[in-house]
Amino acid sequence: MAKIILAKSAGFCFGVKRAVDLVYSRFGEKNVYTYGPIIHNECVVKDIEDHGVKVIKDSCELEDAASATIITRSHGISKKTQEELEKTGAKIVDATCPFVLKIHKIVEEESKKGSQIIIIGNENHPEVMGIKGWATSDVYIVDTKEKAEEIKLDTNRNVVIVSQTTFNYKKFQDLVEILSKKGYNISIRNTICNATEERQTEARQIASQVDSMIVIGDSSSSNTRKLYEICLKECPNTFYIQTINDLELSKLSSSDYIGITAGASTPQNIIEEVYTNVRTEFCRDVR
């Protein structure tokens, strides 16, 4: 029988909970939309759609803009997109995570000063795409050591570094170290949110103590993917699942210690379902 360690930080972070609550509070209202998936979780998005809230990718998808309410996603949007949505005449509800909004402000203000902007993050992630959209000067996106080593900037202009809020903190430090050795006048803004750092640190600690590790989150969730990568380095027997249906309990049968954590966009009911099933099957003592 196994001992189970459930991460205290597992589940919705402040920004995600705020965004989801903003949508849930409008259940029952007509003509409500989210601009893009409100968070990266299929179960939550389906539940929202089942309650009549539609997901759109473009303002032209609005059926009646004048009476519409558009809730922007937690990842944020570009300045251009924001202006386009405002032009529709719809009511705009900003569900962008406050920590992401802080990065938008930094990038907008620093780029107006002529600074070159480096965003450390995944260029295809909506949060990074939104951040990039607030720059009015040169902007570069770096997520690998190779890109950091190859980057060439204007030595006569300042450089400001920001980060995707959910980026791997250790990897951020490694990339900043490479960039700092290039001799540019660099200002480093560590914009990885505290909740992300705490979640990653706790996941690493738990994974180093257990025989099997379960990471719960949507396949499209960047922060969950990073948790999985962190845990996998510490515990080779790490499983990335979206719901209990993805977990083969038989693969945990030889484990004396089982760890469980979850991404910032994973609902509590999914975490509890996984925990309860694993506990029922294997547990002798819970921590």
Residues marked active site are found at: 127
Measured at the alpha carbon of residue 246, what is the angle toward residues 229 and 255, in degrees to the nearest 5? 70
Q: Which residues pair with 32 in a beta bridge?
A: 69
More confident residue, 263 or 2: 263
The domains found in the chain, sorted by start residue, are 2-12+194-286 (3.40.1010.20), 14-98 (3.40.50.11270), 99-188 (3.40.1010.20)
Residues with Cβ < 8 Å from 269, sequence gap 6 or more?
none
Using CA atoms, how far apart are residues 238 and 271, in angstroms rounded to an integer? 16
Lowest-pLDDT choice from 86-90, 246-250, 264-268: 246-250
- DSSP secondary structure string, 120-163? ES-TTSHHHHHHHTT-SS-EEEE-SHHHHHH----TTS-EEEEE
**pLDDT at residue 282 in the model:** 75
- CA–CA distance, 117 with 107 (Å, rounded to integer): 7
Q: What share of the chain is helix, strand, coil (3-state, %, to 5)?
A: 45, 20, 35
Radius of gyration of the chain, Cα coordinates, nearest whole angstrom: 21
pLDDT of residue 233: 96
What pLDDT, on the 0 to 100 scale, is given for residue 225?
93
pLDDT above 70 for 284? no
Lowest mean pLDDT among 42-51, 179-188, 221-230, 276-285: 276-285
Question: What mean pLDDT is predicted for residues 148-160?
Answer: 95
Query: Distance (Å, rounded) from C-alpha 98 to C-alpha 141?
Result: 21
Residue 150 has pLDDT above 70, yes or no: yes
Give first-to-last CA distance, the chain, whole Å: 14
For residues 270 and 262, give the distance between their C-alpha atoms in angstroms, rounded to a whole number: 9
Asked if 87 contacts 62 with a C-beta cutoff of 8 angstroms, the reply is no
- At residue 287, does pLDDT exceed 50? no
pLDDT confidence band for 281 (50 / 70 / 90): confident
**Residue 286: predicted pLDDT:** 46
State mean pLDDT over 101-121. 97
- φ, ψ at 55 (rounded to 5°): -95, 125
For the cut 60, the answer to whether the pLDDT of residue 134 exceeds it is yes
- Mean pLDDT, to the nearest integer, of 115-143? 96
What is the greatest pairwise CA distance in the chain? 63
Q: What is the pLDDT of residue 285?
A: 46
